[in-house]
Copies of this chain bind each other. A is one copy, B any other.
Amino acid sequence: MTLAETLADLRHQTVAGRHAETGLWVSGVLRERIAAGQLPPGTKLSEEPLCEALGVSRNTLREAFSTLSAERIVTRIPNRGVFVARPTADDIREIYRVRRYLEPAALAYTLTDEVAGPILDRLRQAVEQARAARAAGSIPGMAGANQEFHAGIVALTGSERLNRLMAQVLAEMRLVFRSMDEDEHFHAPYVDDNARVVELLGAGRQSDAAALLTAYLRRAEAQLLSALAEPGR
């Protein structure tokens, strides 16, 4: 069975018989593959081979490209094609600019009410998971738990749009880590910072938590930017 048939088959298992979801399915598959690192930053996504591999038409594939392009997971260059996004230094600055507004605001402006309760648990769980991953030496585990933590912070807002924006930003962060294999010792120091943030938040010291997080984000940004400037790239 060829790759094309395998994927087309997968599709029939996944969305068998359903109408009006092919484009979504395609964008979902590509998102996964990119997040998993199977399609590294810079990879060209040629239309014809991909169509055959996925078992869909060019039109449908292009619809998926539109979606991913809007999410910045993929870069479309007119008349040249689409490529898996390779974040630049400016992209990193933009990502952290967004995070520096969104995350502290989520901490500071959210009243500790019925919404915050379940999410506090979610945050504590993410911290626990990160600690376990650190103990096990699992870098992907730490990265995942860290993303879950920051997604949880924005979830405090209860806003669907802000959550979606944060999800996109975190997806772009994954591309940053794949662009430079600077995953090694990046996450470890922040596990304890995350724990401290939850602690402060649980104690009702919201503005302290926000301040800590702001400093934290500035440090992380600087670290990534200097890593990007290194000989590695």
- Whether a CB of chain B sits under 8 angstroms from the CB of A98 is yes
Q: Shortest Cβ distance from A59 into chain B, in angstroms? A: 6
CB A60 to nearest CB in B, in angstroms, measures 10
B contact residues around A158 at 8 Å (CB): 97
Contact of A124 with B by CB under 8 A: no
- Across the interface, which residues of B come within 8 angstroms of A63, CB to CB? 62-63, 66
Complex CA gap A13/B187 in Å reads 54
Give bound CA distance, A104 to B105, whole Å: 9
**Contacting residue for A101 out of B20, B66, B97, B157, CB 8 A:** B157
Query: Considering the complex, which residues of chain A in the window 163-196 have a beta carbon less than 8 Å from any beta carbon of chain B?
Result: 165, 169
Copies per complex of this chain: 2
The answer to whether B94 touches A161 (Cβ under 8 A) is yes
Within 8 A of B (CB), among A65-88: 66-67, 70, 78-79
Known A-B contacts A63-B62, A165-B165; A105 and B101 likewise in contact (beta carbons under 8 Å): yes
A201 interface residue (CB < 8 Å to B): no
Interface size bracket, A side: 20 to 34
> In the complex, are the beta carbons of A78 and B20 less than 8 A apart?
yes
How many Å from the CB of A92 to the closest CB on chain B? 13
**A95: min CB distance to chain B, Å:** 9
Closest to A156 in B: B101
Chain B: minimal CB distance from A94 (Å): 6
Determine whether the beta carbon of B62 is less than 8 Å from that of A94. Answer: no
Interface of chain A residues 1 through 59 with chain B (CB within 8 A)? 19-21, 23, 59
**Which residues of A are at the interface with B, using a C-beta cutoff of 8 A?**
19-21, 23, 59, 62-63, 66-67, 70, 78-79, 94, 97-98, 100-102, 104-106, 109, 157-162, 165, 169, 214
